[in-house]
Structures are given as C-alpha cells and as structure tokens.
Amino acid sequence: MKKISTTLLLVLAAVQLFAQTATAPDSLYASDKIYVVVICAGIILLGLIIFLFSIDRRLKKIEKKSSGKI
C-alpha cells in the first residue's frame, strides 16, 4: 500500500510539472536572473569539487600513515 501511494504521489507531482507554462524560463532570461542562477549553481559545484579534493588528500595522508604502521 505504501508503494502504491508513493507512486501515485510522484505521478501527480510529475503531472503538475507538465502543467507549467513556458513563460517562466523566458522571464528569467528577460530579467537577467538566469545569470544569477547559473553563477550560484557554479559556485555550489566549485565548492563541492574543492571539498571532495580536500577529502581525497586527507584520505591519502591517512592511508600512507596506516600503511607504514602495518
């Protein structure tokens, strides 16, 4: 029953997405807000990439330390 209700909820959400008009992207382009969205998405992606590389470097240091102790 839970799977059926979840599936129904997702289908209804998808129907709502198709009901949107095409003027929303046009208004973003017209008011130059699309550039703000792109810049924010770029900053978030750049932050995630930097974070992942810093974790990778830390793990490499820890692996080198632990391989010497064994």
Domain ranges of the chain: 23-70
pLDDT in tens, the chain (70 residues): 877 888 877 777 776 666 556 666 667 677 788 888 899 999 999 999 999 999 999 999 999 998 876 5
pLDDT for position 41: 95
How does DSSP assign 5-59, residue by residue?
HHHHHHHHHHHHHHTS-THHHHHHHHTTHHHHHHHHHHHHHHHHHHHHHHHHHHH
**70/68 Cα distance (integer angstroms):** 6
